Each structure stands twice: as C-alpha cells, then as structure tokens.
Chains A and B, each alone.
Chain A
Amino acid sequence: MEKTLDLKFNYTEKKDTRSGFGDGFLEAGRRNPNVVGLCADLIGSLKMGAFQKEFPERFFQTGIAEANMMGIAAGMTINGKIPFTGTFANFSTGRVYDQIRQSIAYSGKNVKICASHAGLTLGEDGATHQILEDVGMMKMLPHMTVINPCDYNQTKAATIAIAEYDGPVYLRFGRPSWPIFTDPAQKFEIGKAWKMIEGTDVTIFATGHLVWEAVVAEAILRSEGISAEVINIHTIKPLDEEAILDSVAKTGCAVSAEEHQYNGGLGDSVAQTLARNNPAPMEYVGVNDSFGESGTPTQLLDKYGLDAANIVAAAKKVLARK
C-alpha cells in the first residue's frame, strides 16, 4: 500500500530503534566520561555491546536481577555518574516499579531507564514480554520524563539528549526493523512536539513506531480529500500541551496513536489536555484493555487495530463527530 501512496516522508532503509539507542549510547559515552552502563543479561538485545567494549571500566553486568540494577544505578548517580540501565521494557518498569519509585523518582536521581522490546511489535515472544502499560506506570511518577521515539535516527538523537538532561528519564524503544524516515542530523528537544505534516481537518498525535503508521495514514486520507495534521509526540511527559492545543484549535478533532493500552498512554494525556482546555472529539488508536499474543509485528498491529488503516478509520470516525 505504501508504495503507491504519495508519502510526505520516505525511507530507503529500515532498522530497529534499539540500534539507535545502542549507537546513541556509545556516542553519549564518548562525549561524557560520567556516562556509565548497566545491563541485566541482555547486552546483545539492548545493543549495549559497543559501549561495553569501548568503556569496560564504565559498564556493569548485573545478571538477571533488575531490582538490584535500579538500586545500583540510583547509588551511582550520587557522585555524579549518569547511569543508563538496559533491559526489556517489561522488566524496566512493572518488575521494578517500587525500586524506580523510591530510589530513583522520589529520590530525584539522574538515572536513564532504557527499555527495549516495548509493545506488540516485540512479536513472537508473546504477551509475557509485550508490555503495553509501561508508559502509564512511568508517566504517573512525579519527576519522571517519558520518551518514546519513532525511528532509528530519532532514538539515537534522544539517547544523546537524555545524557545531557539532569533527571530521571524513561526511554522506550523496540525490536522490529522499522522505516528510518527522520533526519539523521536532527536535534532532539525533550518536551517539544514535532509537527511533521500540516493539515486542517484532523490532528493525528502519534508516538513511537506508530508515527510511521500515521505518516502512511495521512497520505491515504489526503488521497481521499481529507487533510490531516501529523504531530510526533516523542516526549509523552512533559507533554507539549501548547502544540496539542494549537493544532486542535485549528482542526477541531484528534486521533491518538500508540503501541500501548488506551489506559494510561499518550491518548489519555492528550484527552486530559483537551478536556481541561478545549474539549474536542477524539478517538484512540491503541490496545483496548487486552494482552497481546505471539505473531509477527505486522500481523499483531493489524489484529489489535494499530496500523495505518485503523488510524484512517479513527480519523473518519472522529471527523463525523465534529
């Protein structure tokens, strides 16, 4: 379908966002000697190997013990280290929620919680590993910044940017090979939404892998005479409320798109912003209160209603409610 569409963004290469993290992590380590790494037996999966090889004295294998890893990272911040923890998103959040809450967020520690294999697109491993609640858990914590970049380039830029920011951050990325459609030289600004495509009829607020699906959806909608604005919300917290309100003031309705539960995700953050400032019709694209299952990423996005076709349908539905 993509091939025949007039897309506003294009790609020549696909790569996993976790590799963007791995390459950004190495770069952050080269720029700042205080950057250190910890990993709970998933160095290969998190693409942390290059950093470990170049900076072995600043890298700590913790074994399969994520709770301890979070505590050690918190302790390392005390004399100025900038620890990056690496494990799957499930084990980076739910498994260690209380450790993050007390030792990192409440204690205001400068830990970067780097979480791969988030969402349905983890694929064949199934629901035990496909966390769809992590953004909700993390954004509820005071002091926590929550970032979900959309492709390899944006993930790399975000990784470098969070090393330069003082405070706890949850950085979410994934496993599947995904289109690279953003600028490799981009400057990543935490908390600043990116209006990728201008439009007038409906605003699509997308995050993570679903930003690409939103780009495809915009082209489909345009081919049918509907003008959609696409905004990349890479930072879910702090949320760029001004960008959201400015756009919806123009379009009058919104669709959120994310690889996460309806409950607690980007959609809820957008809805809260609209409800408190400028109530407008809104539709959610996400997982509606269910667990995932095994399958390929493409099959899962289709079955659970998260692909471009579903964003198009949600846009038409919300337009009818205007």
Chain B
Amino acid sequence: MEKQTIEQLEGTASQVRRDCLRMVHAVQSGHPGASLGCTEFFVALYFNQLNHDPNFKMEGKGEDLFFLSNGHISPVWYSVLSRSGYFSPEEMNTFRKLNSRLQGHPATEEGLPGIRIASGSLGQGMSVAIGAAQAKKIDGDDSTVFVLMGDGEQEEGQVWEAAMYAAHWKVDNLIATIDLNRQQIDGPTAEIMDLIDLRAKYESFGWEVIDTLQGNDMKSVVEGLEKAKSLSRKGKPVMNLLHTEMGFGVDFMVGTHKWHGIAPNDEQLADALGQLPETIGDF
C-alpha cells in the first residue's frame, strides 16, 4: 500500500470522521467522542505507518500488528479498516445491527477482517499485544506490534501487570499508545481517578516514554510514531503518550466527556457533517 502524504492523510481523516458520525447516528448508539479524538492516530497508522496487508490473515506473519484495547472506539477502527481495503465501506451500514460483523465492540466471532482479538472489557489489550510481540520474537519476525489504550483504562490493574512484564521481558518490538484525552464516562480523569503523571509511572516501570503533544495534528502524530519506532528494538517497550481532544473536528463535541457514548441526532449530525468535507465518498 502506498504511504499517504500528510495532506492526503488529512483528507482521509475528514472522511473517517464522517464515517464515525454516520455509523453512530444510524443506530443511535456507539462512542463518537474518542473515535473523533483518535482519528489522526488511526489514519496515520493505517495509511502511513503500518506494514500491513488488507488481504487479511489472522497470523499476520511478516506484518506489523495493531490491537485496540479500548474497544468502544470501534467506529474509527472500522472506518480505517474498510477505507484501507479490509472490507467494503458499504458494510459500515451494518454497524451495531443484528447479523453484522461490525459488533458494538470489536470481535473475531463473526470473522471481520482486520480484527485479531475481541476487546471492550478494558485492560486486556496490552497483554495480548505483548504476547503477539513475543511470539514474533520467537519466530525471528522483525515486525512491530502496536496497541492503543484509553487513559481511563489505565485504572485497570491488568495494565500494570502488563507494563511490568513488558519491561522485564524486554519486549522492545512493542509500541503502546495511550489516548490521553483526560476524559472518561463519568467525567474528567482528574476528578474520577487522577492519573497524575503517566510518563513518570511508565518510566519507573522501565519503559521508554515519548509525548505526542499535538495528537490531533497529523504531522505531529506521524512524527510521534516515527520517533516511537526509532526508539524501539533498544531493549525497552515504547510508550507514546498521545495528547488528544475528545470529539476533535466537531465544534460542539470537542473537549468534553459528554459525547463519550452519545449519538448525535439528525440536526446535530447535519451540523457536524457540515464541518467535515466528504473527501472519499460516504458509504
């Protein structure tokens, strides 16, 4: 797959945001907030960074792998998977509907190409990614394994079991990213359960940590991932703290937890779509 330029990536991101909003609106359920906030990351990953094959094979030998731990932001993942060729964009019409492969939270049960593990119950994805990364090491496969987690998800204990393990076993072909939008369902993380200093936490666990301070600026996101890759394979797992704004790209959704799990109504959808050019063509 050709790597898209920054300008092309920005165009793709606009379409992906439209896809997310239209999917969630159609069934009046789903999680638009963090899907919009992570759009630059997903687009940069699938259209610029990952060495991947849309002709999907579960084992992914010789390919970079991506795992989504905070599975509730499935809309943005489904959109980039379909837009990069894993399945037809038309299938986005089935999101969260009966007999669909696009389950509310990502699953393997229905065989949707691109998904290698179910996620949604939080805290599990990094462990899975570490296992996949270690299996690659056993096989001498020099690809990279990526995982995305939410910041609220850092409250789960399993995350820290995994963090300890990855450093101990020197899983340095793993690049983890935390979507640092500082919001969770019940409110700001600082009020619900203060994360305080994630950089200090991961550094003290033995990780190499970088900050991508502008997680909704495409160039910064690409540069952050490039930097993370350059720091990999040096004996430590790499953590990319991705500073984003929940709801980015739609003025009335940005920067609040209120759109974590709420769908826009018809009027709100029209307003939102008016802010996001249709660049590839709606599904």
Contacts and interface: CB of A to CB of B under 8 A. Distances in A.
A79 B136 contact: yes
A108 B139 CA distance: 22
Contacts of A70: 127
Given A63-B164, A72-B127, A79-B59, 5 more contacts: A57-B138, A71-B125, A72-B128, A72-B162, A79-B61
Contact of B117 (A63, A68, A101, A103): A103
A73 B138 contact: no
Interface string A81-100: 10100000000000000110
Interface of A: 36, 57-58, 60, 62-63, 65, 67-81, 83, 98-99, 101-103, 106-109
A74 B131 contact: yes
B60 A75 contact: no
B24 interface: no
Contact of A76 (B65, B119, B134): B134
A235 B96 CA distance: 36
Interface string B49-72: 000000000111100010100000
A70 B164 CA distance: 15
B132 A75 contact: yes
Residue picked from B107, B120, B158, B169, most chain A C-beta under 10 Å: B158
A121 B139 CA distance: 40
B161 A107 contact: no
B164 A65 contact: yes
A134 B124 CA distance: 21
Interface majority SS on A: helix, strand, loop or mixed?
Answer: helix
A109 B123 CA distance: 18
Interface of B: 58-61, 65, 67, 107-109, 116-121, 123-136, 138-139, 141, 157-158, 161-162, 164-165, 168-169
B59 A99 contact: no
A79 B109 contact: no
Nearest to B165: A68
A74 B107 contact: no
Contact of A68 (B119, B136, B161): B161
Residue picked from A57, A58, A62, most chain B C-beta under 10 Å: A62
Contact of A103 (B60, B118, B133, B134): B118
Contacts of A108: 108-109
Contacts of B158: 65, 67-68, 71, 99
Contacts of A62: 165
B165 A81 contact: no
Contacts of A109: 117
10 contacts: A70-B127, A71-B162, A74-B127, A74-B131, A76-B131, A76-B132, A76-B135, A79-B61, A80-B135, A108-B109
A98 B121 contact: yes
A33 to B, nearest CB: 9
B124 A103 contact: yes
Contact of A102 (B121, B133, B162): B121
A106 B135 contact: no
Contacts of A107: 107-109, 117-118
A72 B165 contact: yes
A79 B124 contact: no
Residue picked from A75, A77, A98, A108, most chain B C-beta under 10 Å: A75
Contacts of A71: 124-128, 130-131, 158, 162
B128 to A, nearest CB: 4
A67 B161 contact: yes
A68 B164 CA distance: 10
A102 B135 contact: no
Contacts of A79: 59-61, 132, 135-136, 139, 141
Contacts of A103: 117-118, 124, 127-128
Contacts of B59: 78-80
A67 B123 CA distance: 10
Nearest to A58: B138
B135 A75 contact: yes
Contacts of A60: 134, 169
Contact of B120 (A63, A75, A99, A102): A102
A78 B161 contact: no
B96 to A, nearest CB: 17
Contacts of B125: 71
A71 B121 CA distance: 12
A81 B127 contact: no
B114 to A, nearest CB: 13
